[in-house]
Structure formats: C-alpha cells, structure tokens
C-alpha cells in the first residue's frame, strides 16, 4: 500500500451519516480526544508508548504519540508506521526467526526497533542470526506478571541467564516489558488496581536484577488500558503502554475502566428486515452488520454472562435499552427486544423504515476495528474524513 493511501482523506464538505455506505466504522472525534486527554492527565510525567494495534491508523497515532515512539503487534504494522514516520518502534509480540530478516531491514533503515523474547531457545536463535549478519538487536525481556500468556518469572534464574547470553553475544538488552493481560479477567476495579501494582512492581524488580548484572537498562515498560488507567504508574517504570483507551469499548465499560458514553468507536448499520407491519413489534430486526463488520468477539461474556455482540444505539449514540444484538451471521445482525426494552426503544423499533440506521458500540474495539479497512472520523455527527487503516503481518 502506498504511503498516500495510508493518510487521512478529509472531505471538502462533511457528509451526513446517511450518505455513508453501510456497514462502516465511525470514530467520534470528541470522545476520542477526551479519552486521549484522560490518559495524558492520569499519567502526568510518565511517558506513554501507545499501542497502535487498536487503531492501526496513522491519523489517530499522530494525535497520541509522544514524539515518534509507539508499540505495534505485527511486523506489517511496524513497517507501515516506519514508512509513515515512526522512529522508535517496539514490537510487543515475541520475535521469531521468520521475522529476523525484516527486523534487520528496519534497523538498517535507521529505526530504533525493539523486539521481545522470553526463552533461552529464542535468545540463542536471535544471537545466531545476529552473528551471521553482524547486527546488534535491541531486546527487551518479556516478564510474566500474571501467569496469563507469556514471559519470564521476574525473580527466576532464567531471566539473568538469558540476559547474560545476549550480552555475551554482543546483543543490546534494553530492558524489560510486561503486560498484565489477566486484568481482563478481574471482576472489580480494585482487583485491577492490585494487578497494576503487581505489573509495575514486577517489571521494576526484573529491571533491577538486570542492572545488578551491569546492564544499562533504559526501558522498563508495562501496561494495558485497565492497569494504566485504574492504577498509579510505578515511578520505576520508564513508560506505560496502552491501546484500547483511545477508543474504549463495552469490555472496558464492563470492567469499570470507562463509561459507555466514552466509547468513541461504533459501527454504522442499515436495517434490512423486520419492519413493523402495524402496531405489533417485530420478532427481530435484521441489519447488514454481521460478524464481518462487528467481529465475533463476545466481550466479557465469560465474566458477566451473555451480553450480545455489541450495544445498539440510535444515530446520536443513545443506547436503545433492551434491543439486544442477539446473533450474528456473516453479513446479518439479528436484534431482538428483551424484557428490559424501554418505551423509547419500542417506539424506535415501531418507527423503523428501509431508510433507518443504527449505530452499534463494540464489545472489543480492537476486534471490531480489525474487520475494517477504513474508519470515518465523525465531528458533530457528520463524517469529516476517511481514515485508512494499516495492518496485516
């Protein structure tokens, strides 16, 4: 994709949301800016290295990056933002041999590119590649603070053994990284605060052990949207990472990290069936937003039981209480009224016509955004720009 194809296209005149082809992704600028301000105010002097895997959008990235530093989840994202101007890029998913050549190419471009790993096996593979190609990788050791996914024990022998191997092979150990993804399994904000404390403390402790080995640690990186916003950053961290915070979603609202009114992302959808034929409410309302537009992400269902595939709202983003996104097929959304349906919701449904549109707030903003190639930037309920999304591997 060419660079210009990844830049925002601002319209000469704003478009009514009724003019957009559906389904499509909408980004409310005012809510997004408020989310950005909230994170900045909360972190104070603690630097933020935003994770761009949520937005995958250069226009959004430019509004939240401090300088040229960012986090990405794929090499495709890294290459895209490097071409767009990011200089200080952290790939926060474990490096593997198939990405060594492309990593070297980024470094040869002058990018301060950092990779992570959490095993002696991968460290050896990286050292072998570095020796064969006479390069020095910048490596962060991934630390496990929650038993959730990946990482080395902050107090285990392996951490120092791997660091020692890398240093001996002439590689640059820049520090540590951790992500308390288990924050998404917390039932209360208090649990998230405790997890944030542990996330920060473990990362700082691991970094201290590297420093005791004589390693010059310049990066002590931790974070997730829940822990970043509900916790207080450990002053021993050098940076905090977060991505979803800029959009927010129903998962974050369910965790108590934000309010529903903070959710900046929505899917614009048209009603294609289930029009009332008289005074009776239809059994279901059918829309053109299936999982191809919303994703199949069921959000916090595991934690809080069934919740549907998003929150149906009217065109001004007022939730339609009791109109549940019950089921999705590829290009169909099936919405049903449940017992909690308000009078306003019933009136809304009774008034549906072939021209009717809805907006669906996403369970998981990363997953919903991933289904789209562009997002429309919405200001005062009109689309002012089309923002292309990058991505891929």
Helix, strand, coil % in the chain, rounded to nearest 5: 35, 25, 35
Alpha carbon distances (Å) from 271 to 140, 182, 279, 290, 372 = 49, 37, 18, 12, 19
Task: Answer yes or no whether residue 158 interacts with a second copy by CB under 8 A.
Answer: yes
Pairing outcome for strands 112-117 and 319-328: unpaired
CB of 226 to a second copy, least distance (A): 14
Task: Answer yes or no whether residue 291 interacts with a second copy by CB under 8 A.
Answer: yes
Choice between 41 and 280, CB closer to a second copy: 280
Choice between 58 and 291, CB closer to a second copy: 291
Q: Edge-to-edge strands of the sheet including 239-242?
A: 48-50, 239-242, 219-222, 172-178, 138-143, 112-117, 88-91, 69-72
Task: Answer yes or no whether residue 79 interacts with a second copy by CB under 8 A.
Answer: no
> Could you give the string, one character per residue 38-57, with x where binding to a second copy holds by CB under 8 A and - elsewhere?
---------------x----
Q: 235 Cβ partners below 8 Å, 6+ apart?
A: 46
How many chain residues are in contact with a second copy, going by CB under 8 A? 59
DSSP 350-386: HT--TT-EEEEE-S-HHHHHHT-SEEEEEETTEEEEE
Choice between 99 and 349, CB closer to a second copy: 99
CB of 30 to a second copy, least distance (A): 26
> Residues 338-369, buried b or exposed e (16+ Cβ, 10 A)?
eeebeeebbebbeebeeebbbbbbbbbbbbbb
CB of 173 to a second copy, least distance (A): 18
Q: Three-state SS for 346?
A: helix
CB of 355 to a second copy, least distance (A): 6
Pairing outcome for strands 112-117 and 265-273: unpaired
- Looking at 9-17, 31-39, 209-217, 363-371, which segment touches a second copy (CB under 8 A)? 363-371
Q: Which of 275, 319, 350, 384 binds a second copy (CB under 8 A)?
A: 275
CB of 197 to a second copy, least distance (A): 22
- Pick out residues in 175-204 that bind a second copy (CB under 8 A): 181
> Could you give the string, one character per residue 5-24, with x where binding to a second copy holds by CB under 8 A and - elsewhere?
----------------xxxx
DSSP 214-270: T----EEEE--HHHHHHS---TT-SEEEESGGGT--HHHHHHTSS-GGG--EEEEEE
Tokens of 72: 């990405």
Choice between 202 and 288, CB closer to a second copy: 288
Task: Answer yes or no whether residue 334 interacts with a second copy by CB under 8 A.
Answer: yes
CB of 124 to a second copy, least distance (A): 8
Task: Answer yes or no whether residue 156 interacts with a second copy by CB under 8 A.
Answer: no
Task: Answer yes or no whether residue 118 interacts with a second copy by CB under 8 A.
Answer: yes
Task: Answer yes or no whether residue 145 interacts with a second copy by CB under 8 A.
Answer: no
Q: Which of 2, 98, 212, 305 binds a second copy (CB under 8 A)?
A: 98
Q: Using CA atoms, how far apart are residues 269 and 20, in angstroms rounded to an integer? A: 10
CB of 139 to a second copy, least distance (A): 14
Q: Three-state SS for 50?
A: strand
52, 81 contact by CB (below 8 A): yes
CB of 241 to a second copy, least distance (A): 14
Reported as type and span, the H/E element at residue 285 is: strand 285-287
Task: Answer yes or no whether residue 273 interacts with a second copy by CB under 8 A.
Answer: yes
268, 357 contact by CB (below 8 A): yes
Choice between 90 and 321, CB closer to a second copy: 90
Which residues here bind a second copy, judged by CB under 8 A? Answer: 21-24, 53, 73-75, 93-99, 117-122, 124-125, 149-150, 158, 181, 270-275, 277, 284, 286, 288, 291-293, 295-298, 329-332, 334, 353-355, 366-367, 370-371, 373, 392-393
């Amino acid at each position: 994709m060419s660079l210009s194809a990844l830049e925002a296209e601002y319209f000469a005149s704003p478009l009514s949301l009724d003019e957009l082809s559906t389904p499509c992704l909408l980004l409310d600028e005012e809510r997004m800016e408020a989310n950005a301000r909230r994170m900045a105010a909360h972190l104070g002097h603690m630097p933020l290295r935003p994770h761009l895997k949520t937005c995958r959008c250069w226009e959004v990235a430019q509004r939240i990056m401090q300088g040229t530093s960012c986090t990405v989840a794929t090499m495709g994202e890294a290459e895209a933002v490097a071409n767009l101007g990011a200089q200080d890029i952290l790939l926060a998913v474990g490096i593997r041999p198939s990405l060594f050549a492309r990593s070297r190419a980024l470094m040869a471009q002058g990018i301060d590119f950092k990779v992570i790993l959490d095993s002696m096996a991968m460290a050896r593979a990286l050292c072998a590649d570095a020796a064969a190609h006479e390069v020095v990788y910048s490596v962060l050791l991934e630390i496990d603070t929650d038993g959730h996914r990946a990482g080395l024990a902050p107090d285990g022998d392996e951490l120092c053994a791997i660091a020692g191997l890398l240093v001996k092979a002439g590689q640059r150990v820049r520090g540590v990284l951790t992500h308390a993804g288990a924050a998404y399994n917390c039932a209360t904000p208090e649990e998230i605060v405790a997890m944030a404390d542990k996330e920060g403390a473990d990362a700082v402790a691991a970094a201290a052990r590297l420093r005791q080995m004589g390693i010059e640690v310049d990066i002590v990186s931790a974070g997730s949207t829940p822990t970043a916003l509900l916790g207080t950053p450990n002053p021993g961290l050098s940076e905090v990472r977060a991505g979803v915070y800029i959009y927010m979603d129903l998962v974050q609202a369910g965790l108590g990290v934000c309010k529903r009114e903070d959710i900046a992302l929505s899917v614009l959808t048209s009603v294609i069936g289930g029009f009332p034929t008289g005074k009776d409410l239809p059994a279901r309302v059918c829309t053109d937003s299936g999982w191809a537009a919303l994703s199949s992400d069921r959000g916090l269902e595991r934690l809080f039981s069934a919740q549907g595939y998003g929150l149906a709202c009217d065109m001004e983003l007022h939730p339609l209480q009791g109109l549940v996104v019950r089921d999705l097929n590829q290009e169909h959304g099936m919405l049903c009224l449940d017992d909690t349906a308000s009078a306003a919701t019933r009136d809304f449904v009774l008034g549906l016509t072939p021209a009717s549109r809805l907006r669906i707030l996403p369970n998981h903003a990363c997953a919903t955004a991933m289904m789209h190639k562009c997002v429309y930037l919405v200001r005062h309920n009109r689309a002012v720009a089309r923002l292309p999304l990058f991505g891929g591997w």
